[in-house]
Each structure stands twice: as structure tokens, then as C-alpha cells.
Amino acid sequence: MSIFSPDSDYYIFPKDLPRPLMLSLIFACVLLGLASLRHGHDWQNWLNVIENWLLMLLIFPTATATVALPLKYRDPSFELKQAYYLGMFVALLFTLAKLRYWR
């Protein structure tokens, strides 16, 4: 069995959610992270891009999945992958609000 097979435990997408929806969420987070380049292309702006990517693709989703760990222990059918993608969506909304109000 391959790790890229949807039947594998290591498959990165949740079973109940459509794969194109998750890919579009990842794509939106990556593109929204590039919004820090609107003022120029110097090294400080690229550091802001990397910071946005870490925030949206790693920090918020990991924190959300960590907070959801007790749910996994209570209900073994709960998928932490769904909590991870929920955290990614929350980070996307947070970044949209940040770009709107923090100029």
C-alpha cells in the first residue's frame, strides 16, 4: 500500500472532506502569504512572507490539532487531520483580517 493511497493512514487529506477543497485551502494560504510583497521585494518582505507561511501552514493548524487531542482520545473515530485543516482555515481568516486592518 502506498502512502499516496486514500486508504493509507498516512494520507494527508481527511476522508470526509473533498480533496480539491483542501488543495484550494492550501493554495489560498500560500498565495495569501505572498501579500507581504506588496510594498517591495527586499529581504525584510521575504522574511514576512516566510513568517506568514509558517503562521498559516504550521503554527495555527498545529496548535488547533494539539488542542483537539483530548477529542481524539475520547472518540477514536475523530480525525486530527480535520482539526489541522480547521486550524489552517482559521489562520486564513486571521491573515485576511490582519491584512485588512494592520497596514
> DSSP letters along 8-74, please?
STT-SS-SSS-HHHHHHHHHHHHHHHGGGGGG--SHHHHHHHHHHHHIIIIIHHHHHHHHTHHHHHH
Q: Which of 49, 9, 10 is nearest to 33 (CA)?
A: 49
Provide the percentage of residues in the chain whose pLDDT is more than 70.
Answer: 86
pTM: 0.82
Tell me the domain boundaries of the chain.
19-42+51-101
**Residue 66 cell numbers, joined:** 494539539
* 58-98 tens-digit pLDDT: 999 999 999 999 998 999 888 888 899 999 999 999 999 98
